[in-house]
Amino acid sequence: MFLSNPPIMLMDEPFAAVDCQLRRRLHQELLDRWEQNRKGVIYVTHDVEEAILLSDRILVMSAHPGTIIAELAVPFPRPRAPELAHDPDFDREFARINNRIWTMLGEK
């Protein structure tokens, strides 16, 4: 439970320091809480798989200066579960988004 009831949640790599199994449980917890209250969440991550699983849209930022250089739609309907990451459609979307990000950032 949260101590306050903010209109939007700001999360900056909240699960980066936990092991894979706990991360999956926390992803599900976040997805469940979002389904319950539908509040906005700004979620910062460097993990493309995590961004696809948790997001409806992905904003890509440049390094210096930190500006938004793209907005990418995530095509999967809600509700979502962590098992989505094992679906072949997820793999294709991961490759598409990951390639777009690397192309925009000028790297391969």
Q: What is the pLDDT of residues 61-95, one digit of tens each?
A: 888 888 898 899 999 999 988 889 899 999 999 99
Query: Would you state the pLDDT for residue 2?
Result: 59
Give the global pTM. 0.84
How many H helices and E strands in the chain? 3, 4
- Does residue 3 lie in a domain region? no
- Does residue 35 lie in a domain region? yes
- Does residue 88 lie in a domain region? yes
Sign of the CA dihedral 77, 83, 85, 86?
Answer: negative
- Does residue 2 lie in a domain region? no
Provide the residue count of the chain: 108
Q: How many domains does the chain have?
A: 1
Q: 40-64 b/e with 16+ CB inside 10 Å = b?
A: eeebebeebbbbbbbbeebebeeee
- CATH of residue 29's domain is 3.40.50.300
Q: What value does the mean pLDDT take over residues 5-20?
A: 91
Query: Of all helices (H) and strands (E), which one includes residue 103?
Result: helix 88-104
Tell me the one-letter amino acid at 60: V
Range of the domain at 44: 8-104
